[in-house]
């Protein structure tokens, strides 16, 4: 089964090629052509690989000529680019990693290599600590400090994969195993099933009779996407997939299915707590089953493990040993929110700022999804790179939505704006325009480095504006790329509660911000939560389920999430505390 190459992957390959060519001192027009192509591909509303497969002429795209169209087709068909492989081979080892560090770029990478002979990221970190970069042109103290911070952040997160990225490899692999003869079920367990925002590896559990195990294992280790087989035995194997994601396979007989699924779903802390409870009852629970002495008394079905201890079934998202066991014993588990509860999306961009579709196009996609409403939340003017709206353009957009609304009948286009929170806590749009909106999203997009106290005050000041409704992606983190900015979440939550503001769980798989811990904190404080996709395209609107995953990990029920309500009720909920 060939894997569809995503536009972001094609763009990344072209960007990398441009970087490496630049280090080599290649013609700058050639370098720029690859960079332009990367940007063009990254912003395409459709998958270039699909277009190539459908025989469409990619050379008709603005930044793409015949040569580049050929290269895109090559990547789409094979997942590789011969030229990139060649250039990578002749680039000094380690340099290609260094150049990919944010803020370094080809010019600085070349200096590091030529002047200091830096060979790897680890080497670079050591040189920075030893002070070898002091006085090197182009490497000010601030730049160097940032580089070190980035390297250290990476080494602690580099081995984890975003859930969304893992999914695109894990699901086809799991479906492949499920289709094999004799296989009863194939399920991805581990942190993946608990829907953690990042996974260290994926853990696949295959249930089949023992006689089929060898064939399942062989099929797993020879799967198309496998780069390397790390271990292979009769019931457990480990492979490394292309791109570095590790997949563990366990093959179990039907009689142990439930116990193994429970064990490999984890978390480890949850398992340990269950096992300790079993020991108190004189039982033993492990991945093979639940046992009284040598006799297996449960383990075929996962629910039975919980039932054995008089507990309600615990959803995987709650299995972090965060009080779920006590709640399950006393019948106090939350009834977790689901995708089906969601009535509309509260966070979406259009081509007026940095989105790809018009208001009408986005609204049409949302309506076809069965939603009752979609909020249009383009950026405000401070975010000039995203072509943010000033008062004049926002007022025109409000008028345009009022007109469009007539065409959409019962489906409602909500008038909103993702207004920038300025450094001093003022909002980027004046009140007489804000008051025309159905509600106002506030967001921080710059000055991330303010100290905790100041950053917290800045956001609370913004909430003081009586038009402020929802705080967007409250910590600004971009998973594996940008750490959260420093804020006192407890104070923010308390301030939101006092003022009747809501806080967002941003469903974008790179953000998932609030995280599970903050979402639960907000719920417990009685703060309303909005789940928005931050969609910049039709595809973006499909990311809602990741926001739901995060909400579930935060113990949220439908009643805790404001966009599970129809518009009349939502409108009331958005009213602030007077």
Picking from 373, 451, 474, 476, the residue whose alpha carbon sits closest to that of residue 416 is 373
Q: CA nearest 397: which of 444, 429, 445?
A: 429
Residue with the CB atom nearest Ca ion in the bound state: 190
**Closest to 569 (Cα-Cα) out of 539, 561, 552:** 561
Length of the chain, please? 578
515 part of the interface to ligand DGT, by CB under 6 A: no
DSSP 305-332: HHHHTT-PPPPGGGTTTSSHHHHHHTT-
Residue 191 near ligand DGT by CB under 6 A: yes
For ligand DGT, which is the closer residue by CB, 264 or 468? 264
Output 259 or 434, the one with its CB closest to ligand DGT.
259
Query: Residue 196 or 552: which CB sits closer to Ca ion?
Result: 196
Question: What's the rounded Cα separation, in Å, for the pair 68 and 14?
Answer: 10
Among ligand DGT, Ca ion, none, partner that 39 touches (CB below 5 to 8 angstroms by kind): none
Q: Which is nearer to ligand DGT, 1 or 276 (CB)?
A: 276
Given ligand DGT, Ca ion, none, residue 438, with its beta carbon under 5 to 8 Å by kind, binds none
Phi, psi of 519 (to 5 degrees): -60, -40
Report which of 504, 548, 543 is spatially closest to residue 522, judged by C-alpha positions. Answer: 504
Task: Check if the beta carbon of residue 217 is closer than 8 Å to that of residue 234.
Answer: yes
Residue 264 interaction partner, one of Ca ion, ligand DGT, none, beta carbon < 5-8 Å per kind: ligand DGT
Q: Which is nearer to Ca ion, 96 or 168 (CB)?
A: 168
Task: Report the residue from 79, 94, 106, 190 that binds ligand DGT according to the rule CB under 6 A.
Answer: 190
> 373-376 and 344-345: which strand pairing?
parallel
State the number of binding residues for ligand DGT (CB under 6 A). 14
CB of 187 to ligand DGT, least distance (A): 13
Closest separation in Å from C-beta 476 to ligand DGT: 23
Nearer to ligand DGT, 118 or 189 (CB): 189
When CB distances are held under 5 to 8 angstroms depending on the partner's kind, the choice from ligand DGT, Ca ion, none that residue 129 binds is none
Nearer CB in complex with Ca ion: 33/188: 188
The nearer residue to ligand DGT, 287 or 390, going by C-beta atoms, is: 287
Radius of gyration of the chain (CA): 26
The least CB distance from residue 428 to ligand DGT, in Å, is 38
Residue with the CB atom nearest ligand DGT in the bound state: 266
Per partner kind, with CB cut-offs from 5 to 8 A, the member of Ca ion, ligand DGT, none near residue 266 is ligand DGT
Q: Please tell me what DSSP assigns to residue 547.
A: H
Q: Quick one: which of 380, 366, 451, 355 has its CA closest to 412? A: 366
Write down the least CB distance from residue 248 to Ca ion, Å. Answer: 4
CB neighbour class for 78 (10 Å; exposed up to 12, middle 13-18, buried from 19): exposed
Determine whether 495 is exposed, middle or buried from the number of CB atoms within 10 Å of its CB (0-12, 13-18, 19+): buried
> DSSP H helical segments within 235-299, as ranges?
257-265, 268-280
* Residues making contact with Ca ion (CB under 5 A): 190-191, 201, 203, 248
Q: How far is the C-alpha of 495 from the C-alpha of 511, rounded, in Å? A: 23
Tell me which of Ca ion, ligand DGT, none is bound by residue 302, counting a contact when its beta carbon lies within the kind-specific cut-off of 5 to 8 angstroms: none
Does residue 220 interact with ligand DGT by CB under 6 A? no
Check if the beta carbon of residue 143 is closer than 8 Å to that of residue 102: no
Q: Where on the phi/psi map is residue 135: left (φ > 0), alpha (ψ -120 to 50), or beta? A: left
Taking residue 61's Cβ as centre, other Cβ atoms within 10 Å add up to: 18
Q: At what angle do helices 7-24 and 82-90 cross, to 10 degrees?
A: 40
482/350 Cα distance (integer angstroms): 25
Q: How far is the CB of 198 from ligand DGT (least distance, A)?
A: 7
Question: Nearest distance from residue 505's CB to Ca ion, in Å?
Answer: 23
Residue 320 touches which member of ligand DGT, Ca ion, none, C-beta under 5-8 Å by kind: none
Of the pair 201, 345, the CB lying nearest ligand DGT is at 201
> Peptide bond preceding 514: is omega within 30 degrees of 0, i.e. cis?
yes
SS3 285: strand
Site string for ligand DGT, 243-282 (x = CB under 6 A): --------------------xx-xxx--xx----------
- 193-212: contacts with ligand DGT (CB under 6 A): 196, 199-201, 203
**Choices 188-196, 293-301, 433-441, 559-567; region in contact with ligand DGT by CB under 6 A:** 188-196
**Nearer Cβ to ligand DGT, position 205 or 493?**
205
Binding stretches for ligand DGT (CB under 6 A): 190-191, 196, 199-201, 203, 263-264, 266-268, 271-272
């Amino acid at each position: 089964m060939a894997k569809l190459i995503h536009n972001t992957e094609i763009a990344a390959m072209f960007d990398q090629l441009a970087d490496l060519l630049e280090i080599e001192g290649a013609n700058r027009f050639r370098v720029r052509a690859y960079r332009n192509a990367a940007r063009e591909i990254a912003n395409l509303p459709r998958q270039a690989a699909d277009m190539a497969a459908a025989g469409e002429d990619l050379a008709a795209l603005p930044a793409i000529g015949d040569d580049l169209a050929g290269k895109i087709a090559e990547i789409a068909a094979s997942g590789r680019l011969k030229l990139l492989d060649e250039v990578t081979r002749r680039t000094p080892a380690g340099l290609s990693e260094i150049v990919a560090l944010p803020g370094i770029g080809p010019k600085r990478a070349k200096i590091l290599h030529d002047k200091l002979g830096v060979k790897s990221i680890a080497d670079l970190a050591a040189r920075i600590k030893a002070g070898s970069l002091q006085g090197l042109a182009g490497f000010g103290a601030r730049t160097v400090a940032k580089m070190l911070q980035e390297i250290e952040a990476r080494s602690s997160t580099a081995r984890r994969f975003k859930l969304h990225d893992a999914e695109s490899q894990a699901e086809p692999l799991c479906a492949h195993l499920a289709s094999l003869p004799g296989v009863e079920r194939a399920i991805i367990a581990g942190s993946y099933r608990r829907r953690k925002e990042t996974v260290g590896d994926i853990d696949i559990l295959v249930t089949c009779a023992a006689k089929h195990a060898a064939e399942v294992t062989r099929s797993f280790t020879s799967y198309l996407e496998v780069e390397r087989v790390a271990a292979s035995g009769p019931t457990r194997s480990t492979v490394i997939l292309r791109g570095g994601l590790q997949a563990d396979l366990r093959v179990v007989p039907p009689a142990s299915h439930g116990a193994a699924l429970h064990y490999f779903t984890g978390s480890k802390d949850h398992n340990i707590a269950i096992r300790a409870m079993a020991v108190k009852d004189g039982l033993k629970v492990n991945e093979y089953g639940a046992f009284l002495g040598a006799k297996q008394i449960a383990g075929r079905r996962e629910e039975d493990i919980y039932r054995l201890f008089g507990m309600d079934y615990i959803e995987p998202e709650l299995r972090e040993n965060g009080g779920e066991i006590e709640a399950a014993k006393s019948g106090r588990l939350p009834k977790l929110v689901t995708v089906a509860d969601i009535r509309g999306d509260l966070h979406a961009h259009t081509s007026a700022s940095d989105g790809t579709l018009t208001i009408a196009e986005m609204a049409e996609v949302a309506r076809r999804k069965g939603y009752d409403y979609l909020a249009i939340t383009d950026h405000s003017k401070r975010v000039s790179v995203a072509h943010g709206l000033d008062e004049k353009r926002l007022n025109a957009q409000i008028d345009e939505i009022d007109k469009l609304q007539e065409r959409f009948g019962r489906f409602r286009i909500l008038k909103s704006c993702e207004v920038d929170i300025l450094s001093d806590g003022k909002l980027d749009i004046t009140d007489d325009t804000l008051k025309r909106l159905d509600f106002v999203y506030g967001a921080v997009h710059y000055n991330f480095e303010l100290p905790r106290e100041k950053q917290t005050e800045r956001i609370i000041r913004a909430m003081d504006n009586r038009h402020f409704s929802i705080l967007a992606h409250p910590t600004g983190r971009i998973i594996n790329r940008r750490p959260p900015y420093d804020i006192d979440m407890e104070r923010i939550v308390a301030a939101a509660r006092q003022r009747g503001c809501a806080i967002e769980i941003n469903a974008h798989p790179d953000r998932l911000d609030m995280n599970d811990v903050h979402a639960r904190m907000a719920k417990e404080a009685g703060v309303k939560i909005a789940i928005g996709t931050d969609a910049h395209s039709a595809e973006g609107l499909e990311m809602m389920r990741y926001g739901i995953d995060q909400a579930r990990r935060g113990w949220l029920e439908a009643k805790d999430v404001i966009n599970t309500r129809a518009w009349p009720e939502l409108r009331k909920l958005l009213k602030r505390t007077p």
